[in-house]
Amino acid sequence: MNNEEKKPGAANELLIDIVCLLASYGILFFLPEKEGLLLYVILGISAFLFCIGFFRMGFLFNEPSGTNKSGITRVIFTILPIVFTAIGLSGIYRDQGSIRSITIAILLIIESLLFAAIAASDAKSPEEMHKATLILRAAAVLLGGSGIVYAFLDQFSSGSVIGATVAVIEAIVLWAMGSGNNPFNDENNEIKIVPGMKTSLDQLYQDFREEETQLGKPWIGKISTIREDCLIYGPEESGFCVYAYYNYGRFYVSGSESPLFPKPEEGESHKVNEIPGSDGTLLAKANLAEAYAEMFARYAETGKVQWMYDITGILRKKKEN
């Protein structure tokens, strides 16, 4: 295997994502002053570019590399919502509630909520989750209260009323996130990305088919929610499995408690018993997607096929019994 071909292209991928993200804001300068087809077309293109840049970049920031990026990312994703909300509301104030300023503000606030959700979901320990809840709820009270006070001081002009309404709506969503209704929380199975992975799925299967992991050996199959073929580990007895796949040139690893196999009998035929580590412990299911992503990241960087801990002793004992 040529290790030179395996080196991650994370830098190039991140550059593309940043360009898409910046372009999603730059194109807003071309919004017309009056409502019409052109306004909605430009908004649609802006939202599309934002989705490409934000979601792909978000996965890249959370790459399974064991780096200390998460703290920096959380700070960035906490500051950006404040900046975007301020820009949006100030635009409404300057233009006295024009269609152009309202649409830009709404788009920016939607994007602010996504960044806030990512920042909050990065909290893993109970202490961090408690802090995230306090921050989100404090921000909700401050934002909603400021919007109402601003409208009152401006004698409920059209611009101030619209701005206050938008601020209150965002405050309600932030409060809901603080209550645990976060679309990016840990109740959803985490999706990990392995930057720079270019090896075909068939070749990955050939390279990993003899490597035992906690969920046994891989097989190639279909998951109903994924268009592409997947490299699947499991399912184990309760139905949990980990699957890896390519989508738009990127390699993703995810886990699911109830994967939807187009052919249920296929999943049944591949059921496995989990294999513990040498000390007899098993990784929690919530951590398995990250563990498999780390295994593939190591492969992408070095070409080495290796599960995260040695289980050969366990397998040897099973054969002896």
Predicted confidence at residue 122, as pLDDT, reads: 60
Q: Write down the pLDDT at residue 232.
A: 96
Establish if 141 belongs to a structural domain.
Answer: yes
Query: Is residue 267 exposed (0-12), middle (13-18) or buried (19+ Cβ within 10 Å)?
Result: buried
Asked if 151 and 206 sit in the same domain, the reply is no
Low-confidence ranges of the chain (pLDDT < 70): 1-14, 35, 54-74, 97, 118-131, 158-160, 162-163, 166, 177-190, 311-321
**Do 31 and 170 lie in a common domain?**
yes
| Domain boundary, last residue among 121, 156, 178 | 178
Whether residues 303 and 216 fall in one domain: yes
If one counts every other C-beta atom within 10 angstroms of the C-beta of residue 309, the result is 14
Q: Could you tell me if residue 183 is inside a domain? A: no
Q: Give a yes or no: residue 111 inside a domain.
A: yes
Pair 198, 128 in one domain: no
Tell me, yes or no, whether 160 and 265 share the same domain: no
Q: Can you give the pLDDT at residue 270?
A: 92
Tens of pLDDT, residues 181-214? 454 444 445 678 898 899 999 999 999 999 999 9
User: Are 78 and 151 members of one domain?
Assistant: yes
> At CB < 8 A and 24+ separation, what contacts does 264-272 make?
266/221, 266/222, 267/221, 267/235, 267/241, 270/219, 270/221, 270/232, 270/234, 270/235, 271/234, 271/235, 271/236, 271/237, 272/215, 272/216, 272/233, 272/234, 272/235, 272/236
Residue 24 sits in the same domain as residue 102: yes
Quote the pLDDT of residue 68.
Answer: 46
Query: Has residue 186 been placed in a domain?
Result: no
Instruction: For residue 314, tell me if it sits in a domain.
Output: yes
Residues 83 and 174 in one domain: yes
The reply to whether 158 and 26 lie within a common domain is yes
**Local structure of residue 252 (DSSP, 8 states):** E
Residues 100, 247, single domain; the answer is no
Residue 170 lies in domain: 3-178
Q: Does one domain contain both 11 and 134? A: yes
Q: Does this model's pTM top 0.75? A: no
Distance from C-alpha of 234 to C-alpha of 213, rounded to nearest angstrom: 10
For residue 185, being part of any structural domain is answered with no
Model confidence over 221-239: pLDDT tens digits? 998 878 889 999 999 988 8
178, 204, 232 — which closes off a domain? Answer: 178
Q: What is residue 316's predicted lDDT score, i.e. its pLDDT?
A: 47
Q: Indicate the residue among 148, 178, 208 that finishes a domain.
A: 178
> Per the structure, how many domains does the chain have?
2
Q: Is residue 55 part of a domain?
A: yes
Predicted confidence at residue 152, as pLDDT, reads: 82
287, part of any domain: yes
pLDDT recorded at residue 5: 41
70 and 34 housed in the same domain:
yes
Which parts of 156-225 fold into alpha helices (H)?
158-178, 201-208
Q: Identify the DSSP state of 304.
A: -
Query: What are the structure tokens assigned to 286, written together?
Result: 């919530």
